[in-house]
Amino acid sequence: MPLPDPSLEPAIRDPKKLRNTAIVLVVTMLLGGGLVLKAYENWSRSQAADDRPAVAYRITKERDLRMLRQDGKTVDLADLRGKVIALNVFSLRDPEIARRSMAVMKRLAESRSATTDLAFVSLVIDPMSADKLLTTLATTAETEGMLLPQWWLGSNEPKTLHKFIKNELKATTYPNETSNKWDYDASIVLIDKNGHIRRGVVPQKRGGEPFIATFDFEQAAAWDAKGAKTGTARSNTEELEVLLNHTIDKLLAESFQN
């Protein structure tokens, strides 16, 4: 009778060795899980502290805006590619909604007059005849200090312009008349050198997702009126203007990808 193959014999289990192996596996799993969790926490903190301006949308050249400018020339918004653009919308007939954003635009234009890669654009939403529009743009630009080449004041026929404001600038309100008064989104829109609409980012001190901010100075003023605190000595409108300047600095430092 042949002898049995030793390799086929059942192994004799050593309970002590099995217990030690199990302990090593558990410890390894715990350490590995802890390292993964720690790495995730570190990543979360780095993300929470990231204040790079958020990308909201890109205006393609195919969906660009053509406008009549204050000097009588027909120009495209895309002609400003390679520059950071601060843009706002306003009504000549009902300018009150844009009063705060326009004041901020003027302070920016004055304080950054030497910054050649920062452009300003204001769009007039009021409908008017072509002949009247050119005269109105030229007069308004001179009166309000919207001087070329730094500041473009322009417009187009209402249907085209209002559609662009809603669809491409991502305005919260489609320009419309309510009780014979214009209602529109007067927020300042930042467009980077490559045509992307960008938002301000406020990291959270206690971690978590950062706050993505639009530059809506009317909303900030409403928060101030309600007594909302910012945690600083500045009001909400002042904090928003600081964030706007900070975001512009970030965008100016980015490269232009032609």
pLDDT tens for 3-54 read 455 444 444 556 666 677 667 666 666 666 555 555 544 434 444 556 799 9
9 occurs within a structural domain = no
Q: Are residues 24 and 91 in the same domain?
A: no
258 occurs within a structural domain = no
List pLDDT tens digits, range 182-217. 999 999 999 999 999 999 998 887 767 888 999 999
Q: Are residues 41 and 138 in the same domain?
A: no
223 occurs within a structural domain = yes
Q: Are residues 230 and 122 in the same domain?
A: yes
pLDDT at 32: 60
Q: Are residues 32 and 87 in the same domain?
A: no
Q: What is the mean pLDDT of the chain?
A: 87
Kindly report the CATH number assigned to the domain that includes residue 210: 3.40.30.10
- Are the CB atoms for 67 and 215 separated by under 8 Å? no
257 occurs within a structural domain = no
Q: Are residues 132 and 191 in the same domain?
A: yes
Instruction: Write out the two tokens for 58.
Output: 């890109």
pLDDT at 181: 92
The total number of residues written for the chain in this structure? 258
8 occurs within a structural domain = no
Q: Are residues 231 and 248 in the same domain?
A: yes
Q: For residue 110, give the H/E element and its range.
A: helix 99-111
Axis-axis angle for helices 236-252, 217-225 (nearest 10): 150
- Are the CB atoms for 155 and 41 separated by under 8 Å? no
186 occurs within a structural domain = yes
Q: Are residues 164 and 104 in the same domain?
A: yes
Q: Are residues 180 and 86 in the same domain?
A: yes
What whole-number distance in Å separates Cα of residue 167 and Cα of residue 237? 26
Say which amino acid occupies 134.
Answer: L
Instruction: Write out the two tokens for 242.
Output: 């600081």
pLDDT at 44: 43
Total domains in the fold of the chain = 2
Q: Are residues 83 and 29 in the same domain?
A: no
Q: Cα 126 vs. chain centroid, distance in angstroms?
A: 26
Instruction: Write out the two tokens for 243.
Output: 């964030």
Instruction: Write out the two tokens for 143.
Output: 């009166």
Q: Are residues 95 and 165 in the same domain?
A: yes
Instruction: Write out the two tokens for 75.
Output: 């120009």
Q: Are residues 131 and 19 in the same domain?
A: no
Q: Which range marks the domain in which residue 82 is found?
A: 54-252
Q: Which of 191, 205, 211, 233 is nearest to 59 (CA)?
A: 191
121 occurs within a structural domain = yes
Q: Are residues 219 and 185 in the same domain?
A: yes
